[in-house]
């Protein structure tokens, strides 16, 4: 028994390295490790029945909103709620105008103001209420000393149904009660958002990397994740795309990263979700644009890849979920997982092709 440092990958010459290479060459009978069963590996080695079910995930450094701004403040309430608050304000203004006009027309001894004047005064009054400003007792009626004296005499004599401006005051009080409720709810939501930090994700799904184009994407060298990317590239590439890839490879990676993606989009519709092979096409584009150009500097282990995530805010790393969560406790930064970007995997013991030990181990 000896220790092997890598799971193995397939070279351009068709030779396997690492544990997979030891099995294919007959150097080892079994590879006992967290050996992931992939389609490409299964063509060259046998696996026992699955021992562990896991999944890969894409991790980035957790980030939050840098500082509160107007957009951040307005997002505390949803858009329908803001529309509802605006509708209530308009309803208050209309109610105030109607009540004020009827009061001046039938209950006031002063000359009634125009509707436009009433609308102007009522709008500013309700706006002041929503801004928590002080409100004059009767904003609609010109209360000179003589008018106030006559109103008071009519009230004492019982010839007026209510004090001048009482109906308007009811509308203002009702508006003020609603505003206080909204302010209390907004304040509570604001305090909760400031106290509890919610991570902000740049996008969801692997396709977001193609659209964003600012992130680096990496996997462990010679890992199952890298093998899967290579398998998709080797076995699901159409003849037309194969020709495009060969032409671009001849031109050089550094000068052609953007053109690679665009050529593939035009050939097979990478971003067309109605395509039967859309998921594989996205993985193919990710490999060509983000992984293959940096293949020589891929991390050699999960801990190394996760440390790179902490040191670079634009670095994304694909690894087994459970393993990464275990290592994350020793990292210098919290991690966020990109949703809708995981792939299920099964782990087992790798054996030589046609090994008699497979039936023995499976029966146990």
What is the reported pLDDT for 7?
Answer: 76
**How do beta strands 30-36 and 216-219 pair?**
unpaired
The reply to whether 21 falls in a domain is: no
Domain-embedded: residue 14: no
Tell me: do 206 and 335 sit in the same domain.
yes
Single out the residue of 117, 122, 153, 150 nearest to residue 136, CA to CA: 122
Whole-angstrom Cα distance, residue 58 to residue 182? 40
32: Cα separation from own chain's centroid: 38
Residues 189 and 214 in one domain: no
| Same domain assignment for residues 214 and 190 | no
**Phi, psi (deg, nearest 5) at residue 123:** -60, -45
Q: Are residues 146 and 226 in the same domain?
A: no
> Which of 195, 218, 244 is the C-terminal boundary of a domain?
195
The reply to whether 245 and 306 lie within a common domain is yes
Distance CA 41, CA 46 (A): 8
Q: Are residues 336 and 208 in the same domain?
A: yes
Q: Are 58 and 290 in contact (CB under 8 A)?
A: no
Buried b (16+ CB within 10 A) or exposed e, 336-345: bbbeebbbeb
Q: What is the DSSP letter of 16?
A: B
CB 226 within 8 A of CB 8: no
Give me 301's structure tokens: 């282990």
Residue 35 placed within a domain: no
Structural domain boundaries enclosing 271: 55-64+202-345
102 part of a folded domain = yes
The Cα 246–Cα 266 span in angstroms is 16
179 and 80 in a common domain: yes
Q: Which of 140, 165, 195 is the last residue of a domain?
A: 195
Q: What percent of the chain is predicted at pLDDT more than 70?
A: 71
Residue 350's beta-bridge partner residues? 31, 47
Q: Which residue has the higher pLDDT, 227 or 274?
A: 227
Residue 42: pLDDT band (50, 70, 90) is confident
Domain assignment of residue 256, yes or no: yes
**144 within domain boundaries:** yes
Mean pLDDT across 144-155? 46
Residue 59 · residue 324 · CB < 8 Å: yes
Q: 244 with 278, same domain?
A: yes
298 pLDDT higher than 60: yes
Q: What pLDDT does 5 receive?
A: 65
> Is residue 252 helix, strand or coil?
coil
Query: Does any domain span residue 32?
Result: no
Tokens of 331: 């990292």
Give the number of domains in the chain: 2
CA distance 52 to 358: 16
Residue, of 58 and 225, whose pLDDT is higher: 58
pLDDT on residue 308: 94
Query: What is the rounded radius of gyration, in angstroms, for the C-alpha atoms of the chain?
Result: 35
Cα angle 98-102-108, degrees, rounded to a multiple of 5: 140
User: How much is the average pLDDT of 213-217?
Assistant: 91
Q: Is there a single domain that holds both residue 186 and residue 320? A: no
Same domain for 253 and 148: no
The answer to whether the CB of 141 falls within 8 A of the CB of 166 is no
Task: Report if residue 49 sits inside a domain.
Answer: no
Q: Please say whether the beta carbons of 109 and 147 come within 8 A.
A: yes
Sign of CA dihedral 36, 38, 42, 43: negative
123 burial type by CB count under 10 A (0-12 exposed, 13-18 middle, 19+ buried): middle
CATH classification of the domain holding 232: 3.40.190.10
Tokens read off for 105: 């027309």
Q: Which long-range contacts (CB under 8 A, 24 or more apart) does 66-71 make?
A: 68/194
pLDDT, tens digit, for every residue of 163-177?
346 667 777 778 888
pLDDT, mean over the chain: 75
Question: Is residue 240's pLDDT more than 90?
Answer: no
Cα–chain-centroid distance for residue 255? 31
Q: Is the pTM of this model over 0.85?
A: no
Q: Which of 195, 228, 253 is the last residue in one of the domains?
A: 195
Q: 16 and 353 in contact (C-beta within 8 Å)?
A: no
Are 116 and 191 found together in one domain?
yes
Q: Is the pLDDT of residue 189 over 60?
A: yes
123 or 154: which carries more pLDDT confidence? 123
Q: What is the mean pLDDT of residues 17-41?
A: 83
Report CA-CA distances (Å) from 169 to 126, 135, 149, 161, 162: 11, 10, 19, 15, 12
Q: Quick one: 215 and 335 in the same domain?
A: yes
Residue 155 above 70 pLDDT? Answer: no
């Amino acid at each position: 028994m000896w220790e092997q440092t890598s799971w193995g990958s397939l070279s351009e010459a068709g030779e396997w390295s690492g544990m997979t290479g030891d099995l294919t060459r007959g150097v080892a009978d079994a590879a006992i490790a967290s050996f992931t069963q992939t389609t490409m590996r299964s063509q060259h080695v046998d696996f026992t029945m699955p021992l562990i079910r896991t999944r890969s995930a894409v991790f980035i450094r957790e980030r939050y909103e840098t500082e509160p701004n107007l957009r951040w403040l307005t997002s505390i309430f949803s858009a329908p709620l803001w529309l509802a608050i605006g509708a209530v304000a308009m309803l208050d203004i209309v109610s105030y105008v109607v009540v004020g006009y009827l009061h001046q027309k039938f209950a006031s001894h002063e000359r009634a103001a125009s509707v436009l004047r009433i609308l102007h005064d009522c709008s500013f009054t309700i706006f002041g209420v929503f801004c928590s400003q002080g409100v004059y007792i009767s904003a609609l009626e010109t209360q000179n000393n003589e008018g106030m004296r006559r109103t008071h005499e009519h009230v004492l004599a019982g010839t007026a149904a209510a004090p001048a401006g009482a109906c308007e005051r009811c509308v203002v009080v009702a508006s003020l009660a609603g505003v206080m409720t909204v302010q209390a709810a907004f304040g509570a939501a604001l305090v909760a958002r400031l106290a509890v930090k919610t991570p902000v994700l740049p996008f969801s799904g692997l396709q977001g990397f193609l659209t964003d184009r600012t992130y680096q994407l990496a996997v462990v060298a010679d890992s199952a994740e890298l093998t899967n990317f290579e398998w998709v590239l080797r076995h699901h590439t159409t003849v037309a795309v194969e020709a495009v890839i060969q032409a671009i490879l001849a031109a050089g990676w550094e000068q052609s990263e953007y053109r690679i993606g665009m050529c593939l989009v035009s050939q097979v519709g990478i971003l067309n979700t109605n395509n039967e092979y859309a998921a594989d096409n996205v993985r193919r584009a990710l490999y060509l644009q983000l992984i293959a150009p940096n293949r020589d500097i891929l991390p050699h282990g999960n801990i190394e890849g996760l440390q790179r995530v902490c040191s670079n805010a634009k670095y994304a790393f694909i690894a087994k979920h459970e393993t990464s969560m275990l290592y994350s406790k020793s990292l210098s930064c919290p991690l966020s997982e990109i949703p809708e970007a995981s792939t299920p995997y099964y782990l087992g013991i790798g054996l030589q092709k046609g090994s008699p030990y497979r039936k023995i181990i499976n029966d146990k």
